[in-house]
Amino acid sequence: MNTDLAWLFETPTRLMFFTGKGGVGKTSLACAVAVKLADLGKRVLLVSTDPASNLGQVFQQEIGEQVPTSIAGVHGLDALNINPESAAQAYRDRIVGPVRGLLPEDVVKGMEEQLSGGCTTEIAAFDEFTGLLSNERATEQYDHILFDTAPTGHTLRLLQLPTAWSQFLDSNTSGASCLGPLAGLEKHREQYADAVAQLADGSKTTLVLVARPLPSALAEASRTSHELTALGIRNQRLIVNGLFPVREGNDPIAISLRQRQLQALSEIPSELASLPKIYVELKPNNMVGMDALRALLASSPAPTPMLAECPRVSRVAFPPLSSLIDSMASGDHGMIMVLGKGGVGKTTIAAAIAVGLAKLGHDVHLTTTDPAAHLAFSVESNFPNLFVDRIDPQVERERYRQHVLQTKGKDLDASGLALLEEDLRSPCTEEIAVFQAFSRVLLESRKKFVVVDTAPTGHTLLLLDATGAYHREVVRHQQSSGHVVTPMMRLQDPEQTKMLIVTLPETTPVLEAESLQSDLRRAGIEPWAWVINSSLAAAVPSDPLLVARACSEIEHIDRVREVSGKVALVPFLPTDPSGSEQLLKLAAS
């Protein structure tokens, strides 16, 4: 396989965007490419707009958020860390500030929640870096500007819509929406149009899709490629990062890992098959410091690490997943919601929990929104007390879409309807639609265990609560002699609902999981436990490269221990678990 990155440096475009799902290594690769270009004598600006950015950790120095910072040890390289959360807060203050004290407090809170989702954060970040692109005085000194995290197709479509954004928002007084920040962006319309045009100009811009050699990461890259191509952004490249190198040895974990990666690459989605692509081998160490970054793109293979360098790997001691299952089983019913970013294995964890509870004799309903759920849900149910089904996100989304169009859309003009249609394609819309399906099974959890794979974020819950006002209205109208329990109250009750956050022992997944925990806490929901999945440290490999990788997990495992009082550790498995027996073994590992 070709591991030559020369096409990134022989005729590089002035703008380069690195994009991919969390944990695939896009920050490391963006940093490494920036260092390489600077080493070749170019003046380079590296800009991160990633909410989970760790530029400072990679370069081992503080990175400015307002003024670019010169990177020590690399002549010609500056870095800027645009904080999308700060940018989003600035929008919230600009939009909500003028109405504080004028509108009822619950209305203001609803506006704030509308402005707290991922769409707001992304569009606010987009505003920041389009401002940077339009500032010729700030950028004319650079030969190349690299962005860690590119805008999604959804954001770009929103910004291209020729509609009166603020008028639509003024009329959208009910129902969940992710369009809040657009009301404050009207004056920047020409600036955005210019930025989108630059993205589509192949002579100026290259979009680098980054993926791991795993089905979920490749599928995400394929969806991104398809969306951007439809918008005219065709100058795309693919980097497959973390390929296990060919090596001698009989470690079953190493053998299985490479086989699984090669299988995923042999089934690469058609959208990616025709793209120019290169493969970057898995490295033994974390991408921290200049030596590691320069080695990432080196043509020669990394030296095999010495086993003696990783003595802490045997010190990892956490309870298995089965210990959490036993704790859940102390009751005889309840909702168990399994949350986490894509690719962390939450579907498998949900299946293992359901099988474990069923084996203990409880009635269990396991449901998922994962389109590939049949892979992990090959439960071959030997348990008559375990019922397994799947909520189809596309069906639920279309049902919700039709309802909104028939109600809020019936009186809109063509431009307003176009904006509403785009809003209904946002990630938040699917979460809201799926949650409505979840609410149908919520009552079941009063009599049995209901295990839900892929739960809504705290933002979605608050958005529904704020716009629908269901929780507040029920509480306000209840008679003093009665006792009413709303769905939101059930989710906030740890005796009724247990939220589990699943992560991987890596930098970005842990940062994203911490953000998810904060999101839930804002909705008054305290996560019940964390699950660290697919840990090499817990699997105790013998291959030197994997032992080094296992050692690098320790700091992340320690971090999870700090942020959660209840944690289970699940080892990396040579093969994906399939069937009840293997799922039970996974839980007990």
Q: How far is CA 367 from CA 203, 324, 325, 447, in A?
A: 47, 19, 17, 16
Tokens of 36: 């390489």
| C-alpha to C-alpha distance for 527 and 492, rounded to whole angstroms | 10
The helix/strand/coil state of 265 is helix
**Residue whose entry in the numeric block shows the structure tokens 């320690």:** 558
Q: Is the dihedral of CA 320, 309, 284, 287 positive or negative?
A: positive
The helix/strand/coil state of 323 is helix
- Going by the DSSP 8-state scheme, the letter that residue 187 receives in this structure is G
Our answer to whether residue 22 is catalytic in this structure is: no
- The residues near 327 (Cβ < 8 Å, ≥ 6 apart) are none
Marked catalytic residue, from 19, 503, 508, 552: 508
Rounded to 10°, the helix 393-407/414-423 angle is 150
- Beta strands in 213-348, from DSSP E residues, in sequence order: 236-243, 277-281, 334-339
Marked catalytic residue, from 19, 28, 367, 580: 28
Our answer to whether residue 26 is catalytic in this structure is: yes
Give me the sheet containing 77-81, strands edge to edge: 69-70, 77-81, 44-48, 144-148, 15-19, 205-211, 236-243, 277-281
Our answer to whether residue 50 is catalytic in this structure is: yes
Marked catalytic residue, from 19, 20, 21, 25: 25
**Residue whose entry in the numeric block shows the structure tokens 């795993």:** 214
- The residues near 444 (Cβ < 8 Å, ≥ 6 apart) are 365, 450
How do beta strands 364-368 and 334-339 pair?
unpaired
Q: Determine contact, residues 25/292, Cβ cutoff 8 Å.
A: no
Our answer to whether residue 23 is catalytic in this structure is: yes
Our answer to whether residue 575 is catalytic in this structure is: no
User: Within 13 Å of residue 313, how many CA atoms lie on the same side as its CB?
Assistant: 24
Our answer to whether residue 289 is catalytic in this structure is: no
Please name the amino acid found at residue 435.
F
Marked catalytic residue, from 36, 50, 222, 242: 50
Marked catalytic residue, from 19, 27, 149, 206: 27
Our answer to whether residue 25 is catalytic in this structure is: yes
Marked catalytic residue, from 22, 23, 334, 458: 23
Which residues are tagged catalytic?
A: 23, 25-28, 50, 508
